[in-house]
Structure 1
Amino acid sequence: MALRVIGLVIPSGATAFKAVNVAQKAGVHTSSVRSLRYGWLAYALGERTTPRLKQNSKIITLDGNLSSGKGALAQKLADKLGMLYMPEPDTFYLDKMTGEKEPLPVDFNGMCSLEKFYTDPKAADGNSYRLQMWMYTMRLLQYADALEHLLTTGQGVILERSPFSDTVFLEAMFKEGYIRKECVQHYNEIKGISICEFLPPHLVIYVDLPAEDVQKKLKQSGKSYLQNVPLTYLKSIEDSYKKSFLPKISETSEVLAYDATQAQDVERVVEDIDYLKFEKGPWLEQDDVTYHHMRMLVEDKQKVATLTHIPKFLPEITIGAHDYDEKYYAYKSLPGKKYAPGYNADVGDKYIWLK
């Protein structure tokens, strides 16, 4: 499978998480203690999660259509609430995890293109579904990062979208005829065996902007590939949010909804959050034992990524053995990729024989 190339480049545990770029004053796991990977020994020696969880130790996701203003609200809320803000991942999120100075070629980032999707959504090479499946994997990895940060430091995290809401794009793609029914079935199978391993957000904030206004903002964005996004596609995303995602997620998470104008009043949103009692959802059933198992999972990014892999043939995401070998050796030939980090003389690693 094309997405299995992810196995070549994901570092393990804390190494992966520390490399992620996030927009917040405090770094991720900045204390010396966090340089050590959490494990069974730490738990056996008495490290517990619940003592560090406070009032704002929450996972909050901001959802809404394209260019709805959710990003601006997310950043302001993070500042107000003292939480970590993690911007929405792009197709190169994996490169941020591995600390690449420059994005690697798309062959090592899902073999898909966001620009190509918007300019040619019905491309015969299956780009649309590869993009959708890759972005679900990136959202899953980022969500694992967010959970790891929350459980390790006690600081809450605010994200733009999540793997739970990712399905709105799948439904819109299928409705517009961009992907096949078999792709939908494959995605639902993948999501069914992966999302169940994670706790849902404590709170989902939905920013509502009519599809017509979204289209106008996209045309003004200056990005050429966003100039002609079909209104029907944007409406499909909006409908999926309102008819599918929000009713479903409200069963386990608190939900607040605002129109784009109301969302600019950050003080009001903060006040509404303070009034919430957070009296539903699986977070209420957790204890130190379940938090321990969750931490063990989310720090192992290779294991998280593997949750999205099933041995099933699908032309859009399947590559042959020869193509896989070609990409594998092409990746290994990149500077600093032949051996594990710290053991590559070609990028200046020293005293390798002493390690």
Structure 2
Amino acid sequence: MAHIFQGPLKRSTAKFLHPARFQAVVGITLPQQSANLTSVKGMQSETLKSRGKPWNYEKHPYNHFYFFIDNTLKRFNDNSKVIVIDGNIGVGKTEFGKKLAEEFDMHFFPDVDSNEIFKIKNRNFDVRMVNDVLPVHARFCDMPTFYEQKVPRPQLLRFGYTQLQIYKARYFNYLKALVHILSTGQGVVVERSVFSDMVFVDAMRKFKHLTSPGHRHLHHARTNTICELWRPHLVVYLDAPVSHVREQIQKRNLPWEVKSPVLTDDFIAEISNVYKNKYLEEMKSKSEIIQYNVTDMPDWEIIVEDFEEVDLEPHLDADPFKFVDWMASEIAEEDYCSYRFHVSQTQEHDSLFNFHIPFDAPEMFWNGEDAHLLRNYIDHDPAVETDPDYRGWGALFKSPL
């Protein structure tokens, strides 16, 4: 059955102006958001407010001009919420997320494809093609290579850099989800939260798959970028015992997973431990949490009732920090529009990832000699050399928005 975790009650000395008094002071009326989700297939579906015509954010990215002519909250209804689906390997996050999105008329954002981070966008070029001509310590390490553990350790340590790029891809995936909900009013379901990326980082460090400086740099990257993102309203954690995860790995039958010396029972258990003891503890102060054990899932009708009953409305007297990012009844329309403008500025967010060079973690960057060699092979490859729009190999890791 479902278990809903409530964050601990917190007292704060901060003074909040009651919505009614706020409206009286500024002379405006702010829209009140509903506390509960509403299934579009249920008996209450007729009460769900229409969102109206969505803003085409792909064709017309929100800018300073649009800021003054298109409001944000007018499109919000009961289901204008952000939900993330988290859990261990093979617990059914994709299927659950898709079904949930369909039930509540939300847009589903699947987890990122780790293979895409090695490809120069819109080009027929994969940087892993040059591994054979690079020194071992400078070669790219993708997920299959890491899980198989058949290459020298200097290349395996390069997975720390790969993990940083996976985090960055998830950051922009979640950013696009925020752009979607703020531009269309349609709620979003995101598979594998950017906020939970640190779960795998910490698990890998415990089993020495990351160096201490590399682990520290990954946390530095997260700390200095995650603060730009509004947290989800709801976190769904799909729990499973190690035996079930092992069974699902066998069913997926990916050779680099099935025979992996990395995916031991202890490693799988550690992922669950970090999820429960660190990630969920961190998230429950700002978001609501629903947890299911996938080996004892209730009927779908009961799951829908769980989601319709969970309270997603701020209660300032009880907990002033729950849903603090989304307090539409406490902030002006301009603040929502300002944040919508902020998340629409792709280059601004891309620049957040221009960190200092971690010289104590050489696996996280290329030294000058290796970078020159890599750049030379990529820039002179026929797939990119004749392309007038190619801006250098650095464009490989530009944001996907």
TM-score range, shorter chain: 0.7 to 0.9
Alpha-carbon distance change, 149 to 124 in structure 1, aligned in 2, over 3 angstroms:
same
Q: Which amino acid aligns with 2:88?
A: N
Map 1:1-355 → 2, pairs under 5 A: 34-44=58-68, 46-93=69-116, 98=121, 100=122, 104-106=126-128, 111-120=140-149, 123-125=153-155, 126-227=157-258, 228=260, 229-263=263-297, 265-278=299-312, 279=314, 280-282=322-324, 283-284=326-327, 286-313=331-358, 314-328=361-375, 330-331=378-379, 334-335=383-384, 338-340=387-389
Which stretch has the larger CA shift, 315-324 or 119-128? 119-128
Q: Which amino acid aligns with 2:309?
A: Y
* Contact 1:61–1:205 (Cα < 8 Å) also in 2: yes
* Contact 1:118–1:226 (Cα < 8 Å) also in 2: yes
Q: Which residue of 2 aligns with 1:346?
A: none
Alpha-carbon distance change, 101 to 321 in structure 1, aligned in 2, over 3 angstroms:
closer
* Contact 2:57–2:180 (Cα < 8 Å) also in 1: no
SS of equivalent to 2:74: helix
Alpha-carbon distance change, 266 to 94 in structure 1, aligned in 2, over 3 angstroms:
farther
Cα distance in 2 for residues equivalent to 1:307 and 1:31: 27
Cα distance in 1 for residues equivalent to 2:288 and 2:337: 24
Alpha-carbon distance change, 51 to 340 in structure 1, aligned in 2, over 3 angstroms:
farther
Deviation at 1:52, TM superposition (A): 0.9
Q: Which amino acid aligns with 1:169?
A: F
Cα distance in 2 for residues equivalent to 1:290 and 1:203: 22
* Contact 1:65–1:208 (Cα < 8 Å) also in 2: yes
Alpha-carbon distance change, 151 to 54 in structure 1, aligned in 2, over 3 angstroms:
same
* Contact 2:120–2:126 (Cα < 8 Å) also in 1: no
Which stretch has the larger CA shift, 87-96 or 75-84? 87-96
Deviation at 1:328, TM superposition (A): 4.4
Q: Which amino acid aligns with 1:308?
A: F
TM-score with structure 1 length normalisation? 0.79
Deviation at 1:173, TM superposition (A): 0.4
Deviation at 1:308, TM superposition (A): 2.6
Which stretch has the larger CA shift, 146-155 or 117-126? 117-126
TM-score with structure 2 length normalisation? 0.70
Cα distance in 2 for residues equivalent to 1:62 and 1:142: 14
* Contact 2:86–2:192 (Cα < 8 Å) also in 1: yes
Deviation at 1:115, TM superposition (A): 0.3
Deviation at 1:306, TM superposition (A): 2.6
* Contact 1:57–1:155 (Cα < 8 Å) also in 2: yes
Deviation at 1:298, TM superposition (A): 2.3
Deviation at 1:158, TM superposition (A): 0.6
SS of equivalent to 1:48: coil
Aligned residues: 310
Q: Rg bigger for which structure?
A: 2
Cα distance in 2 for residues equivalent to 1:81 and 1:336: 47
Deviation at 1:319, TM superposition (A): 0.7
Give the fraction of aligned pairs with identical amino acids, expressed as a percent: 26
Cα distance in 2 for residues equivalent to 1:249 and 1:32: 31
Cα distance in 1 for residues equivalent to 2:344 and 2:385: 23
Cα distance in 1 for residues equivalent to 2:100 and 2:384: 40
Deviation at 1:97, TM superposition (A): 11
Alpha-carbon distance change, 137 to 264 in structure 1, aligned in 2, over 3 angstroms:
farther
Alpha-carbon distance change, 71 to 312 in structure 1, aligned in 2, over 3 angstroms:
same
Deviation at 1:138, TM superposition (A): 0.9
SS of equivalent to 1:277: coil
Deviation at 1:290, TM superposition (A): 2.7
Deviation at 1:203, TM superposition (A): 0.4
Alpha-carbon distance change, 30 to 48 in structure 1, aligned in 2, over 3 angstroms:
closer
Alpha-carbon distance change, 33 to 137 in structure 1, aligned in 2, over 3 angstroms:
closer
* Contact 1:61–1:204 (Cα < 8 Å) also in 2: yes
Deviation at 1:211, TM superposition (A): 1.6
Q: Which amino acid aligns with 1:79?
A: E
Deviations 1:164-188 (A, max 9, x none): 1111101100111111111221112
Structure 2's unaligned 5+ residue stretches are 1-52, 131-138, 315-321, 391-401
Cα distance in 1 for residues equivalent to 2:72 and 2:55: 16
Deviations 1:239-285 (A, max 9, x none): 00111111110000010000104446333222111112212222115
Deviation at 1:79, TM superposition (A): 0.9
SS of equivalent to 2:153: coil
SS of equivalent to 1:82: coil
